[in-house]
Structure 1
């Protein structure tokens, strides 16, 4: 073959310079995603309606939460939303009717954020997931919420009696979304262990990376103790299947050391906290903050205003924070009376929310070289030394030797609303419940009511 002339080489080079396609030797950067290992050895923030707001998630990450879940969002609602980015703070809002934000997130939390979707339709679930997948690292299907707003359309806990639909949604999410998006599910225990294991087997075979199990059945009252010991057999069962799926326990965990206790009982890969985090977002640390009125509420308010968090959401979250009886009551009274952030100017003095955000970002940046305090791989391994608190912060430490059981006074409700008088399970095998997918009704789910006092006495229901 004759060598190309100099003129011919110039012509070919000029053509290549005007080519619209990129050179073949340029490699695109690989986008990493969450793996099952990313769900292991940590304490997680559970998905909570209203309480799982963006500011709460950011503070949970700052204080050691390995991953955080956003509140459940219904697929149809998300499909009717508009994505808006705040040019100042960078907050991403998915706005619904009247430009009200339904779901907010921030790029700084993206590597640790799981979006929970409520759905009963594979196509709608995939569409909603595609809408938000560039702002999150994982998509989770909610299969455990027993509240009517979720179950009335066959979503949430109603999926527990429709495993074919449940698994079809998970399979569709895994098939249609890019590999960098992790897929997970959250369920409740079924009345029998045999049925639970059968359902778990179907779910883990859909290709998910993680399965969170709330250790209560659908009809259990929130004040009833979670059935934590039942999880041990489920964990061993999943590992026996040879599937690389992380198992997270949810139910009645009150903090980091309590998570170690639960993990020792169940063998779960991680533990998820809901109500305790709603009361104190720093419980993910071995040395959580105390006296929230003195060292947490003001920074929280400042961050909320900087992120343009809706005042109603901020006010609700602050009202859930639990402090000491001797704490500063004037602060709480001022928040209760305030109608917007401006009413708290005198109390806050300086709205330095950008500084609070910078501190959170710095804490997350350090994870690249120094990961957060994680649960040890086994109970014989002591936890890493806690990070010293900031100046002026008061902390408390609870050792594993003193935290051997869940405190008896702890209600352990993972949902903001409280449910009373849930229907009992069938009296015998001849009085089985009709699945919601067949009856088109959901009689097994009680109506939630606000907790305004002690629970009413249990009634004896005769069959």
Structure 2
């Protein structure tokens, strides 16, 4: 679908937000939408902001692609598109999200990173260098997680971004944990000294599989290490957070300034609220489709995002099946009814503009009710004497898979008897059994025959 205008200037009825620079405090005390390729589309980001996300990250864009992009503004909706070949939008954004939008760039060259940032900096508030993506499309050119083994290049890119960009453009980085904690601390020290405002840490190593639980217990030491510098750099945790209340749990364990949500937001963009929408077939998908149509979001992007929304087993599947079969928005006329979409956009705009006097729901500034604990403790005790685990699997946790995969791996095995047989022995790759607390003091060992069947 081609964009609706080749105008190079924004429409007159869209007010440009004031140039209010992001500070480290803007990265604190919130729940954030993580950068996600394909899933971090403009409509998803706008709904995330409406439902409480403090800041939103766009999907990673490669520097070379953005340097050659053409900026186009839609005169109807105000949507800004950065088009590549065949006039197809590679990245879209909107002026109403600018004060809260971080653009993530994939780069292995300081000069190209700066050029790409300059192309888009008038439409975003911050630039982030992706140093954590382990996928081949990112690492093959030395970008993403490949930068973790080339700290000189990583830091030179961040230094160049901070030096060459205007002061009102924030600079941040996202990394993964290194296998050794001392190496992680050494890398973090070098990154913090480049002058960034924020550091997001995905609590997995480069080689960890998405279904493996995040190593959030390792982040506490990193957070304390950063605070020990005496500088002003926010630290955001990423990995296995499923919603607002879960963010409070993770924050109490790690001491992180904020928490970032990826997979759970891909399944439900309203999880940033303490009361997220449920039964998305009835409450969310139709408004989402209308907004996508209003913003002229490419149909393939809309179709993919809707396919990732979590469905209830009892839900009416007619709408989803219609979306799967549809080749464009017009194929859904009978189900959607009116396509105006302006009501959805107006409600989102009002919600975002209200932040000037009524900020979004933030994580508590004071100490959370859940207290951080050491590894040796493992649980806290409530006033009633019952143990409360701070590392149990949140209900409904789906793991952190690739966009097209859904796994039911839990947060932590209950005990050594429930750890799954290695795939090399079993010839299978089953998920770890979900732990349950039993009144008898824990689950009994599984029968020996359950293990022997893998060897016969």
Q: Give 1:243-262 correspondences, 5 Å limit.
A: 243-262=231-250
Partner of residue 367, structure 1? 355
Counterpart CA distance in 2 for 1:204 and 1:212 is 11
1:133 matched to 2:121? The reply is yes
Partner of residue 81, structure 2? 93
Counterpart CA distance in 2 for 1:70 and 1:337 is 28
Partner of residue 267, structure 2? 279
Partner of residue 443, structure 2? none
1:183 matched to 2:171? The reply is yes
Partner of residue 13, structure 2? none
The answer to whether the Cα contact below 8 Å between 1:139 and 1:184 also exists between their aligned partners in 2 is: yes
Q: Which has the larger radius of gyration?
A: 1
Counterpart CA distance in 2 for 1:140 and 1:414 is 22
Partner of residue 392, structure 2? 405
The answer to whether the Cα contact below 8 Å between 1:251 and 1:412 also exists between their aligned partners in 2 is: no
1:201 matched to 2:155? The reply is no
1:376 matched to 2:374? The reply is no
The answer to whether the Cα contact below 8 Å between 1:143 and 1:155 also exists between their aligned partners in 2 is: yes
Partner of residue 321, structure 1? 309
Partner of residue 117, structure 1? 105
Counterpart CA distance in 1 for 2:401 and 2:257 is 19
CA positional deviation for 1:378: 2.8
1:289 matched to 2:277? The reply is yes
Secondary structure of the structure 2 residue equivalent to 1:94: strand
1:39 matched to 2:6? The reply is no
Partner of residue 339, structure 2? 351
Higher relative contact order (CA 8 A, sep 6+): 1
Counterpart CA distance in 2 for 1:418 and 1:149 is 18
Q: 2:213 aligns with which of 225, 228, 241?
A: 225
Secondary structure of the structure 2 residue equivalent to 1:247: strand
1:143 matched to 2:131? The reply is yes
> Considering only aligned residues, what root-mean-square deviation do their CA atoms show, in Å?
2.1
CA positional deviation for 1:217: 0.1
CA positional deviation for 1:80: 1.4
Give CA deviations for 1:211-247 in whole Å, capped at 9, x if unaligned: 0000000000111110000000000000001110000
Counterpart CA distance in 2 for 1:314 and 1:419 is 19
Give CA deviations for 1:65-109 in whole Å, capped at 9, x if unaligned: 000000000000111110000010000000001111000000000
CA positional deviation for 1:418: 5.8
Counterpart CA distance in 1 for 2:97 and 2:143 is 27
Counterpart CA distance in 1 for 2:328 and 2:44 is 19
Counterpart CA distance in 1 for 2:406 and 2:205 is 13
The answer to whether the Cα contact below 8 Å between 1:48 and 1:415 also exists between their aligned partners in 2 is: no
The answer to whether the Cα contact below 8 Å between 1:53 and 1:313 also exists between their aligned partners in 2 is: yes
Unmatched runs of 5 consecutive residues or more in structure 2: 1-16, 371-387, 408-427, 433-456
The answer to whether the Cα contact below 8 Å between 1:247 and 1:268 also exists between their aligned partners in 2 is: yes
Unmatched runs of 5 consecutive residues or more in structure 1: 1-28, 383-400, 421-453, 459-463
Secondary structure of the structure 1 residue equivalent to 2:40: coil
1:61 matched to 2:49? The reply is yes
Secondary structure of the structure 1 residue equivalent to 2:259: strand
The answer to whether the Cα contact below 8 Å between 2:308 and 2:403 also exists between their aligned partners in 1 is: no
Counterpart CA distance in 2 for 1:120 and 1:272 is 24
Partner of residue 156, structure 1? 144
Secondary structure of the structure 1 residue equivalent to 2:103: strand
The answer to whether the Cα contact below 8 Å between 2:264 and 2:398 also exists between their aligned partners in 1 is: no
Counterpart CA distance in 2 for 1:172 and 1:150 is 20
Q: 2:162 aligns with which of 174, 190, 196?
A: 174
The answer to whether the Cα contact below 8 Å between 1:64 and 1:284 also exists between their aligned partners in 2 is: yes
Using structure 1 for the length normalisation, give the TM-score. Answer: 0.79
CA positional deviation for 1:456: 6.4
